[in-house]
Amino acid sequence: MRRGLLTLALVVCAVAGVARAAPTCAPRGASKDVEAVVRGWFGAFARDDYAAGYALQAPGFYAYDNGKRFDGTALGELLRGAKASGTRVEWNIGKVDVHLSCDLAWAAWVNTGASGKAGGAMAPVTWLESAVLRYQDGRWRMEFLHSGRVAPPT
């Protein structure tokens, strides 16, 4: 009998260890909400509202930009420093292509803008970008961003 209780306890522990709550799926029509987070994230940084941008990121957020990895707030802080030294960046996010699967979304878009020093000429820049977002606690948050510059025409 003692051996049977031990086996039962091991089975219960094993099942409990792999069991997890099913994710809460986003409501229908959530594509517009995903797009709003993407646009809101860029908008927050454009108006120097870093706290609002960070609030749209998931706790483990990271980004790949300019061939480097940026964890958490590092990309925003890089932008803050660049702006403080006189660099200007403009973003114009095109149509956002959103794909949903329950609590997960990925989005892709072309970002046409410009960058340069304040008071100087702005050079046109195009970025190909994508993001992964997760729906949790009733809202979408950005978990990952990838941004790559398109080579200028030669």
pLDDT average, residue stretch 69-93: 96
Ranges 59-63, 117-121, 126-130: which has the least confidence: 117-121
Task: Answer yes or no: is 67 within a domain.
Answer: yes
Q: How many domains does the chain have?
A: 1
Q: What percent of the chain has pLDDT over 70?
A: 87
Does 96 have pLDDT greater than 70? yes
pLDDT average, residue stretch 117-135: 94
pTM value?
0.82
Task: Answer yes or no: is 76 within a domain.
Answer: yes
Does 37 have pLDDT greater than 80? yes
Tell me which residue range forms the domain holding 64. Answer: 25-149
Gyration radius of the chain's alpha carbons: 21
Strand-pair category, 104-117 with 139-149: unpaired
CATH number of the domain bearing residue 97: 3.10.450.50
Helices marked H in 66-153 = 74-84
